[in-house]
C-alpha cells in the first residue's frame, strides 16, 4: 500500500468534474477532458487535515468504521449527524436531495442543470465485516494513525469511497460547482450481508421513479503493482463484470453403525471422495480466469465410536461470467458422479452481465481517462472481472454500464499480509 488518500479524493473530484462536461459526441476516447472547466484541485492545509480526520472517525462516539453489531437505532442518528457535520454544504445545497432508505442507507440526488443528460450513480457502503481484536496491530475500530497510514476496519472497504465521494462533492460545492449532469450517491448499510435492506431498496425506489442511469461506479477492483512478472509499471483494472456464486450443500445419508463393525464405506468417506473429485479440477489461484470451488464447511459425527448416518459439506463456487449457475451445478454433479450424494443449493446468483468497455462506453472511458490523469504513471487500464460480490448487483435493471474500481494500490506483500483479513490501512500524503 503506498497511495495517498488525497488521490482518491482527487479521483472522485476529477470524475465529478469530467462527467459534468463530457461531450455526448462520438470519439469519447479522446474527448472526455478536453473541455473540462478547471476547478483547481488544490486544498488548503485546513482542508487537508479535515479530510484526514474525517476518515479516522469521531473519537469516543460511533465513527464511520462501525461493525455490524453496531447496526441499530444509534447508527442511523449518529452516522447521520456525523455526515451532516462533516459535509454541511452537501446537506444545505438546494439542488441536492437527501433521503434515508431502509432505515440506515442514504441516497443523495444531485440535480444537474441539464435534465437532458442521463444521470449516473456513485456507490459506497457504510457497513464493515466484524473485526475481533486479534491479529490487528492497533484496535480495529480505533482509526489510529501510524507512520502515515490510517488503520481501521473499513478503511479500504469501503469508507475510503464513502469519504472520498462526499468530500469531493463538499469541496466542489464550496468552490461554486454546479453539475450539468445529474447524479446519485447511494450509500448502502448492509453490503457485506447481501444488501437486501440497503441497495436493493434504493434500487427499487429508483426503479419506481423511472430512473435509468448512464453508468454506475462502485468498489471492486484496484491498481495492481508488482503482480505480473516483467510488468514494471502498475496497471489499473476496472471490473466490468462480477462473478456469480453458489453455496452448495452436499449431503450423504447412510445407515448409522458402530465403529467396531465398520461398513466398507461410511457417509464421511463417500462425501470426502466426492468433495475431493470437485476440488481436483480447480486451482484457487485461477480466480480471475475461471470458476473457483472452495470447501468451506464439513460437518459429521457426534461420538468417537458411532459411524454417523449423515455427512454434510458446503462448497462455495464463484462463477466466472462465461458460465451460469445451472452450468456449474450440472458440471459439479457430473464430476461427483455418485447418486448417494445429494445436492442442495443454499443460495445462488448468476454472474453479472459484462458492461461495455469499447470506445463509446461513456462510464468506462471516463474512468480510464480519470485514472490516467490522476495517476500519470499508469499507462495500462484494462477491463477485468471482480472476484467478490458488491452492492452493484442490485442495480442491474437501472443501467448496462457497471464499473468497479477503487483507486488503491495493491502490492503482493500487502496482499499477503493484510488483505486476507482486510486489515489494509489507507495511506495519505504527508502534508
What is the Cβ-side half-sphere exposure of residue 239, based on CA atoms within 13 angstroms? 30
CA 411 to CA 417: how far, in whole Å?
10
Interactions with ligand NAG, residue window 388-407 (CB under 6 A): 394, 397
Measured at CB, which residue is nearest to ligand NAG? 397
Check: CB of residue 394 under 8 Å from CB of residue 198: no
Q: Which is nearer to ligand NAG, 203 or 357 (CB)?
A: 203
Interactions with ligand NAG, residue window 180-239 (CB under 6 A): 203, 207
Q: Active site residue: 157, 170, 191, 242, which one?
A: 191
- Per the annotation, the verdict on 191 as an active-site residue is yes
Q: Does 292 bind ligand NAG (CB under 6 A)?
A: no
Strand partners, 344: 249
Give the pairing of strands 216-218 and 120-125.
Answer: parallel
Interactions with ligand NAG, residue window 307-366 (CB under 6 A): none
SS3 of residue 381 by DSSP: strand
Cell 448499510, located at residue = 189
Q: Active site residue: 127, 157, 170, 218, which one?
A: 127
Q: How far is the CB of 328 from ligand NAG (least distance, A)?
A: 21
Residue partners of 267: CB distance under 8 A and separation at least 6 = 252, 253, 254, 300, 307, 308, 309, 310, 311
Site string for Zn ion, 137-176 (x = CB under 5 A): --------------------xx------------------
Q: How far is the CB of 417 from ligand NAG (least distance, A)?
A: 37
- As a dihedral over the C-alpha atoms of residue 53, residue 3, residue 34, residue 43, rounded to 10 degrees, the angle is 30
Q: How far is the CB of 396 from Zn ion (least distance, A)?
A: 18
CA 408 to CA 164: how far, in whole Å?
12
SS3 of residue 353 by DSSP: coil
Q: Which does 397 bind (CB under 5 to 8 A by kind): Zn ion, ligand NAG, none?
A: ligand NAG
Q: How far is the CB of 117 from ligand NAG (least distance, A)?
A: 24
Quickly count: other Cβ atoms within 10 Å of residue 294's Cβ.
14
Q: Active-site residue numbers? A: 127, 191
Interface ranges with Zn ion (CB under 5 A): 157-158
Interface residue list for ligand NAG (CB under 6 A): 203, 207, 394, 397
Amino acid at each position: 500500500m503506498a497511495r495517498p488518500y488525497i488521490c482518491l479524493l482527487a479521483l472522485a473530484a476529477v470524475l465529478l468534474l469530467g462527467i459534468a462536461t463530457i461531450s455526448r459526441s462520438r470519439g469519447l476516447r479522446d474527448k472526455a477532458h478536453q473541455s473540462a472547466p478547471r476547478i483547481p484541485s488544490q486544498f488548503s492545509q485546513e482542508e487537508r487535515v479535515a479530510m484526514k480526520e474525517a476518515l479516522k472517525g469521531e473519537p469516543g462516539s460511533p465513527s464511520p468504521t462501525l461493525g455490524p453489531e453496531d447496526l441499530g437505532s444509534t447508527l442511523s442518528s449518529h452516522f447521520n449527524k456525523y455526515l451532516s457535520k462533516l459535509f454541511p454544504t452537501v446537506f444545505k445545497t438546494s439542488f441536492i436531495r437527501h433521503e434515508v432508505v431502509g432505515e440506515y442507507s442514504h441516497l443523495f440526488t444531485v440535480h444537474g442543470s441539464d435534465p437532458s443528460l442521463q444521470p449516473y450513480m456513485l456507490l459506497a457502503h457504510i457497513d464493515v465485516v466484524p473485526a475481533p481484536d486479534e491479529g490487528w496491530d492497533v484496535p480495529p475500530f480505533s482509526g489510529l494513525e501510524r507512520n502515515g497510514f490510517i488503520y481501521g476496519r473499513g478503511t479500504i472497504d469501503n469508507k475510503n469511497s464513502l469519504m472520498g465521494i462526499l468530500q469531493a462533492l463538499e469541496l466542489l460545492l464550496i468552490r461554486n460547482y454546479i453539475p450539468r449532469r445529474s447524479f446519485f450517491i447511494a450509500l448502502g448499510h448492509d453490503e457485506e450481508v447481501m444488501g437486501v435492506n440497503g441497495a436493493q431498496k434504493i434500487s427499487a425506489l429508483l426503479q419506481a421513479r423511472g430512473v435509468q442511469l448512464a453508468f454506475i461506479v462502485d468498489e471492486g477492483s484496484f491498481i495492481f503493482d508488482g503482480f505480473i512478472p516483467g510488468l514494471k509499471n502498475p496497471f489499473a483494472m476496472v471490473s466490468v463484470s462480477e462473478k456469480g456464486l453458489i453455496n452448495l450443500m452436499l449431503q450423504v445419508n447412510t445407515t448409522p453403525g458402530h465403529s467396531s463393525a465398520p461398513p466398507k464405506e461410511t457417509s464421511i468417506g463417500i462425501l470426502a471422495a466426492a468433495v475431493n473429485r470437485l476440488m481436483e479440477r480447480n486451482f484457487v489461484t485461477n480466480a480471475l480466469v475461471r470458476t473457483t470451488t472452495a470447501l468451506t464447511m464439513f460437518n459429521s459425527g457426534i461420538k468417537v465410536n458411532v459411524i454417523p448416518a449423515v455427512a454434510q459439506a458446503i462448497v462455495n463456487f464463484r462463477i466466472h461470467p462465461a458460465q451460469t449457475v445451472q452450468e456449474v451445478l450440472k458440471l459439479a454433479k457430473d464430476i461427483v458422479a455418485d447418486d448417494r450424494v445429494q445436492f442442495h443449493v443454499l443460495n445462488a446468483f448468476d454472474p453479472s452481465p459484462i458492461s461495455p468497455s469499447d470506445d463509446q462506453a461513456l462510464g468506462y472511458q471516463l474512468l480510464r481517462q480519470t485514472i490516467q490523469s490522476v495517476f500519470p504513471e499508469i499507462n495500462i487500464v484494462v477491463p477485468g472481472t471482480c472476484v467478490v460480490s458488491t452492492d452493484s448487483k442490485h442495480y442491474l435493471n437501472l443501467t448496462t454500464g457497471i464499473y468497479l474500481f477503487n483507486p488503491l494500490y495493491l502490492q503482493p506483500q500487502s496482499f499477503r499480509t493484510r488483505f486476507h483479513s482486510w486489515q489494509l490501512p489507507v495511506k495519505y500524503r504527508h502534508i
